[in-house]
Amino acid sequence: METMRIVEANPFFYPFQGGIEHRMHMTSKLFAKRGHDVTILTSRLPGTKEVEETEYGYRIVRVPSRFINIYNPPYVISKNVLETLNGLDADIVNYNYRWAPSFDKDISHYEGKKVFTYHNMWGEGVGLTGMVSEINDNHYRKRLMRYDHIVAITDCVRDDLVRRGVPEDMITVISNCLETFPELSDEEGEFILNLGRMVSTKGLNYLVEAMRDVDYKLIMCGKGPESKKISKLIRKYGLEDRIEMKGWVSEEEKLRLMSTCKFFVMPSIYESYGLAALEALSYGKPIVCTDVDGLPGNVKNAGSYVKPKDSKGLAKAINDLLENDDERRRLSDNALRVVHEFTWDDQIAKTEKLYRSIVDGDDN
C-alpha cells in the first residue's frame, strides 16, 4: 500500500496522559512502523519542545497555547492551529476532541481530507457538566458533518451518534485494544481496585457509599476534580481503614496493582469504553461494573453488572464476588478470552484501509 502523510490532532498529548492520548500514541507508532509519515499536532504544554522527533518514528508539533485549570483536562486556547496544519501537507488528518474552540474551529475548516474519532458519549457528564456537554455537542454537530468520516471507538458510541442523526454509513467502529499482553502472576493481594481519573462521570461517590457494606480493602488510584470530595466522603463514613487513596501512581505501581488485585471495580455513570477495563481484563481480572454505554459490549462475560448510581446493588455485587471463588475464576478465564478478541495489528490495518479509501476518494 502506498504510504500516506498522516496528522493526528488533539489539544493534548504526552506528557499529558489519558485514553485519547494513549490511542493516539499507539496508532501513530504503528502507522510509522508501516512506513507512513506521521505527525501529532497538539498544544504546547509548559516545558515541552515546539518540535520533537520521537523514538517511535512519529514527530510532535506543538502550537503556542494557554491553559486555564478549571477542569481535568484544562481549558486550552491555542494559536496558529490551521496555519500549522496547512503547512504539514497531510494526506489525511484525524481529530480527536470537541471541547477546545481554537482546535475545533480551525480543524473543522481544514480543506483537506479529515476524519473525526469519537471517544465519548454525546452530552457526557453529570449535573452542570452534563448540561454544558450537551450544549457543546449540539453546537458541534455542524462542524462534525464537515468531516469525511467518523471513527467510533465502540458500537455503543456509533449507535448513539446514529440516534442523534449522524448517517450510519459515515461511521466506522475501530476499537481500542492492547498491543502487548502482560505476564500473568499467581500472586493475589487482599484488595479490590479502582483506577482512573476522579471525575463525576466515574460514579466514585457511589463506590465509597457501597464500601460501607463491604468489609474489605479498596485501593483507589487517580486524581481529578472529585479527589477532595471523595476524600471527604471517606472521612465522613469513617472508611479510612477500608479505602486507601493513592492518587496518581507510577506505571510500574499501576501494573503491580492490576496484577495482584482481587478484581476491578468501575461504578461509572458514563463510560464509552474505559482503557482501565481493557488493562484489567488483560491481567485476567474480573470486573464489577455498571451496565452503562460501552461497558457491557466490551467487558462482555468477564463482568458482574449493576445499575448505575446504585450503591446497595454495587455492594452486593462486590460481596458476592468476594465470597465466590469459583465465579471469580470463571470470570477471570472469560476476561483473557475477551481481551484477545481484538489486537492493534487488526485494528491498525482496518484504520489504514479506511484512511486510504478516503484519500483515494472512494469512501462510502
In this predicted model, what pLDDT tens digit does every residue of 33-77 receive, in sequence order?
Answer: 999 999 999 999 889 999 999 999 999 999 999 998 877 678 899
DSSP element (H, E) containing 133? helix 128-144
Output the CA–CA distances (angstroms, integers) from residue 364 to 117, 164, 171, in the order listed.
17, 20, 10
Asked if 94 contacts 128 with a C-beta cutoff of 8 angstroms, the reply is no
- pLDDT band per the 50, 70, 90 thresholds, residue 363: low
The Cα 238–Cα 72 span in angstroms is: 28
Residue 65, helix vs strand vs coil: strand
Which of 32-36, 83-87, 131-135 has the weakest average pLDDT?
A: 131-135
To the nearest whole percent, how much of the chain has pLDDT over 90?
71
**Confidence check: pLDDT of 89 > 70:** yes
- pLDDT band per the 50, 70, 90 thresholds, residue 126: low
Residue with cell 475545533: 104
Asked if 277 contacts 134 with a C-beta cutoff of 8 angstroms, the reply is no
DSSP element (H, E) containing 114? strand 114-118
Q: Which three cell numbers stand for residue 33?
A: 512502523
Instruction: Report pLDDT for 39.
Output: 98
The predicted model gives 210-236 an average pLDDT of 96
User: Which one-letter amino acid corresponds to residue 230?
Assistant: I
The Cα 252–Cα 245 span in angstroms is: 17
The Cα 168–Cα 162 span in angstroms is: 6
For the chain, what is the mean pLDDT?
92
Output the CA–CA distances (angstroms, integers) from residue 35 to 3, 28, 30, 153, in the order listed.
6, 11, 9, 24
8-state DSSP, 343: B
